[in-house]
Amino acid sequence: TTASDAATAAASGANATERFKSDKLVGVENTPPERVSTLAREVLEAVHETIRKHKVTYDEYNALKAWLISVGEDGEWPLFLDVWVEHVVEEVATEHREGNKGTIEGPYYVPDAPEQGSSGSVPMRENESGTPLTWTGKVTSTNGSALAGAKVELWHADADGYYSQFAPNIPEWNLRASFTTDADGNFEIRTVRPAPYQIPTDGACGKLISAAGWHAWRPAHLHVKVSAPGHELLTAQLYFPGDEHNDDDIASAVKPELMLAPKPVSGGEAIEYGFVLDPA
Ligand code: MBD
Ligand code: FE
């Protein structure tokens, strides 16, 4: 079997669910009951208002109940939340920033990817498909100073739109790596251009998409986390001009500031994109 014919929503969803269960519950134990009450009540009021406005029927209510159960059974809560909710959380969390724009993390980040120094290749298979991409950039602080020793973590899908550790039959760290900027804040990364990405269509999220007549596509993207001591962690994605889904990303995560400008070079493409971090 190949990765593409063996990937299922339930398998990739189960992997994502395991990860989020274990390490995302930091610092909410002491949230005051007033805040929990306000948020829960207002979400429920918005649901009630939708039911009144559209005179939702018992058949529709029961379909919702069955669908919500299947989201959990398919392990797709991380996918559902990151596709349809995270972009607003990210907007609120980063609106004070003066440095680089960021965007959502999505469900497929894995920490502690192989360290490649300031210049190197992302781990990939011998005949990894996709146009070779050489990416140079510099990490700076908002005051303009170069940040030496900053960490640039990169992860992205392969040419079939699959992520290692979430789709089967892909080497563990394929297309995942961590780079560290040199004394001048520079890095150079060699990878391959990812393909547009379709979220799994055979699970609960896919069922919602087809029932609503939507599409399941995200434009091709490179995910990054950029961090340096004394600075806010930047989570971002970079996009390629001309992708047919740049204007209708199902995850609403494209921003003009995150658009690359690839230049053809011998043997592939070159991109230049650096990051400006806000002091913490
Ligand atoms: C992805 O690859 C992704 O980046 C997001 C945000 C949601 C689903 C799949
Ligand atoms: Fe992604």
Distance from the alpha carbon of residue 221 to the mean position of ligand 2, in angstroms: 6
DSSP state of 231: B
200 lines ligand 1 (CB under 6 A): no
251 lines ligand 1 (CB under 6 A): yes
Best residue among 74, 86, 108, 209 to mutate for probing ligand 1's pocket (most ligand atoms within 8 Å of CB) is: 108
Mean pLDDT of the chain: 94
Q: Which residues contact 118 (CB under 8 A, 6 or more apart)?
A: 179, 180, 181, 182, 186, 187, 188
155 lines ligand 1 (CB under 6 A): no
Distance from the alpha carbon of residue 269 to the mean position of ligand 2, in angstroms: 21
Q: Which residues contact 140 (CB under 8 A, 6 or more apart)?
A: 146, 147, 185, 274, 275, 276, 277
If you classify domain 1-280 with CATH, what class do you get? mainly beta
158 lines ligand 1 (CB under 6 A): no
Domain extent listing, the chain: 1-280
Distance from the alpha carbon of residue 19 to the mean position of ligand 1, in angstroms: 15
Q: Quote helix, strand, coil % in the chain, to nearest 5.
A: 30, 20, 45
- Confidence grade of residue 5 (pLDDT, cut at 50, 70, 90): low
Per-residue pLDDT reduced to its tens digit, 183-224 = 999 999 999 999 998 999 999 999 999 999 999 999 999 999
- Confidence grade of residue 137 (pLDDT, cut at 50, 70, 90): very high
Which ipTM value was assigned to this complex?
0.97
DSSP state of 203: S
Per-residue pLDDT reduced to its tens digit, 149-178 = 999 999 999 999 999 999 999 999 999 999
Q: What was the pLDDT predicted at 26?
A: 67
108 lines ligand 1 (CB under 6 A): yes
12 and 106 Cβ atoms separated by less than 8 Å: no
What is the separation of C-alpha 223 from the centre of its chain, rounded to a whole number of angstroms?
6
197 lines ligand 1 (CB under 6 A): yes
Distance from the alpha carbon of residue 258 to the mean position of ligand 2, in angstroms: 14
Distance from the alpha carbon of residue 89 to the mean position of ligand 1, in angstroms: 15
CA-based max dimension of the chain: 64
